[in-house]
């Protein structure tokens, strides 16, 4: 059915600003798919549309600020007559239901994530002059359906579950996204087959906790089985696993990663800290630095050549000088290939918000900077060892200034990891996979040339 604007007979054009994590991105892609199915026209430039959707992030303070800034900018476009409607969706809308409606009355539609499947009907209502505010339980979030990818067309995020039951004391996700809910395996396989048939070659497996997959549906964790099934699909080149909880990385999972050629030897394991005391306060599995270093060693022994990524938090309430010093030593000892460190964000509604011994912002930020300085040296030393090797790289663009292509190796996840720059006398398109010989390294990136 084609949707027509009230004032004209032209098809309504929809633009979207997708913010936040890749799980939120999948929500955006599902909404765009539903809108296109309903006859709306999807455009890339939000300034060239009739209706602009801001799919917000509400996880931490910096993300909330970015979301609000984008909403206000879109409201200004509406005031100037550039767009007709402003629609707000996503985690910020879900987390601050009443506040959003009060603080941003200019928004024509505000939907909580449980109402995402009503996006088309809500926009129709707004085009007729109604203010729309819809909020249901987050567990109503629809995880199936047609998706319009907002990233390069050669890779797709495959969300295997939503919500979270881990209840980390610093995290707002459970109150935003609800309980952990796995998708049926058949649905995931069908989605992967459909994307593969359209030329998608890299599949990135995501959830708030991928290693918990299947626990709620099948009574046991079934990520290894799911991965083996996805590996059977023709046309897939790379399968990447993100958000694996360390205590649920089993020997079976490691065996699958090691034995399946399509699964890239890469694992993202968010550790957050190494201090047993701090981990206890975080409501995470309590481990010592020595135990975590031993775990890293075991992963590398089980999956030779594996690239390991983690994330850490500094400045958590009660983090002492000695806790931080232990974290610094751990980063030096573990030598993660990829590491991101963030200053603790005090979020209302979480258990850590009211904890004693809160640290000041300057201390939290400074500690995060120190960790990243240490990791910079670790990364530079590890990448230096790549010089002389030949890597498979997917092309992601061309740097006109330096006359080199840029891309990613199997050791790099989109957006968060390093770049491989390479010179080539040949013409390459985005999404091409090529062999590159590495000739130079920097702190986080590599430089090479097309291998003969």
pLDDT tens by residue, 395-438: 999 999 999 999 999 999 999 999 999 999 999 999 999 999 99
Q: What is the pLDDT of residue 6?
A: 37
- How do the domains of the chain map onto residue ranges? 13-140, 155-384, 390-450
103: confidence class by pLDDT, cuts 50, 70, 90: confident
pLDDT tens by residue, 308-354: 999 999 999 999 999 999 999 999 999 999 999 999 999 999 999 99
What is the rounded distance in angstroms from the CA atom of residue 53 to the CA atom of residue 32? Answer: 10
Please check whether residue 282 is in contact with residue 314, taking contact to mean a CB–CB distance below 8 angstroms: no
69: confidence class by pLDDT, cuts 50, 70, 90: very high
State which CATH number among 3.40.50.720, 3.80.30.20, 3.30.420.40, 3.40.50.300 fits the domain covering 155-384.
Answer: 3.80.30.20
The helix (run of H) or strand (run of E) holding residue 199 is none
Q: Does domain 390-450 have CATH number 2.40.50.140?
A: yes
What is the rounded distance in angstroms from the CA atom of residue 111 to the CA atom of residue 255? Answer: 42
What is the rounded distance in angstroms from the CA atom of residue 311 to the CA atom of residue 417? Answer: 12
pTM of the model: 0.95
Q: What is the pLDDT of residue 125?
A: 97
Is the C-alpha dihedral spanning 199, 25, 371, 442 positive or negative? positive
Residue 2 reports pLDDT greater than 90: no
pLDDT tens by residue, 16-45: 999 999 999 999 999 999 999 999 999 988
State which CATH number among 3.50.50.60, 3.40.50.2000, 3.90.650.10, 3.40.50.12160 fits the domain covering 13-140.
Answer: 3.40.50.12160
């Amino acid at each position: 059915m084609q949707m027509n604007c009230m004032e004209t007979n032209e098809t309504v054009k929809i633009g979207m600003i997708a913010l936040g994590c890749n799980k939120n991105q999948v929500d955006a892609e599902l909404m765009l798919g539903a809108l296109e199915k309903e006859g709306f026209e999807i455009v890339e430039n939000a300034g060239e549309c009739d209706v602009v959707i801001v799919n917000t992030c509400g996880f931490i303070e910096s993300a909330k600020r970015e979301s609000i800034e984008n909403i206000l900018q879109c409201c200004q476009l509406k005031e100037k007559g550039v767009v007709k409607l402003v629609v707000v969706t996503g985690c910020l809308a879900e987390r601050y239901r009443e506040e959003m409606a009060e603080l941003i009355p200019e928004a024509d539609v505000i939907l909580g994530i449980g109402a995402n499947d009503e996006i088309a009907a809500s926009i129709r209502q707004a085009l007729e002059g109604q203010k729309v505010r819809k909020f249901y339980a987050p567990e109503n979030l629809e995880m199936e359906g047609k998706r319009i990818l907002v990233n390069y067309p050669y890779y797709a995020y495959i969300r295997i579950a939503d919500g979270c039951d881990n209840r980390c004391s610093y995290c707002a996700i459970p109150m935003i996204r609800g309980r952990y809910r796995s998708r049926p395996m058949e649905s995931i396989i069908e989605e992967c087959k459909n994307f593969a048939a359209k030329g998608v070659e890299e599949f990135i497996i995501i959830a708030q906790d991928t290693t918990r997959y299947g626990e709620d549906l099948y009574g046991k964790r079934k990520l290894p089985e799911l991965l083996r099934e996805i590996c059977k699909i023709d046309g897939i080149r790379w399968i990447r696993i993100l958000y694996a909880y360390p205590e649920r990385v089993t020997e079976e999972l490691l065996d699958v990663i090691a034995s399946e050629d399509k699964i890239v030897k890469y694992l993202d394991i968010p550790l957050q800290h190494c201090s047993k005391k701090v981990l206890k306060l975080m409501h995470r599995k309590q481990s010592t630095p020595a135990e975590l270093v031993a775990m890293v060693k075991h992963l590398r022994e089980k999956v030779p050549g594996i690239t390991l990524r983690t994330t850490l938090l500094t400045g958590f309430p009660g983090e002492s000088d000695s806790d931080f010093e232990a974290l610094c030593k751990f980063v030096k000892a573990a030598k993660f290939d990829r590491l991101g460190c963030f200053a603790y964000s005090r979020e209302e509604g979480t258990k850590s918000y009211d904890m004693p011994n809160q640290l000041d912002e300057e201390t939290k930020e400074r500690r995060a900077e120190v960790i990243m300085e240490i990791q910079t040296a670790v990364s530079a030393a590890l990448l230096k060892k790549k010089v002389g090797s030949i890597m498979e790289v997917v092309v992601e663009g061309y740097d006109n200034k330096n006359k080199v292509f840029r891309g990613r190796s199997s050791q790099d996840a989109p957006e968060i990891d390093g770049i491989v720059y390479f010179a080539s006398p040949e013409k390459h398109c985005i999404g091409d996979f090529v062999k590159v010989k590495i000739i130079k390294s920097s702190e986080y990136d590599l430089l090479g040339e097309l291998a003969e």
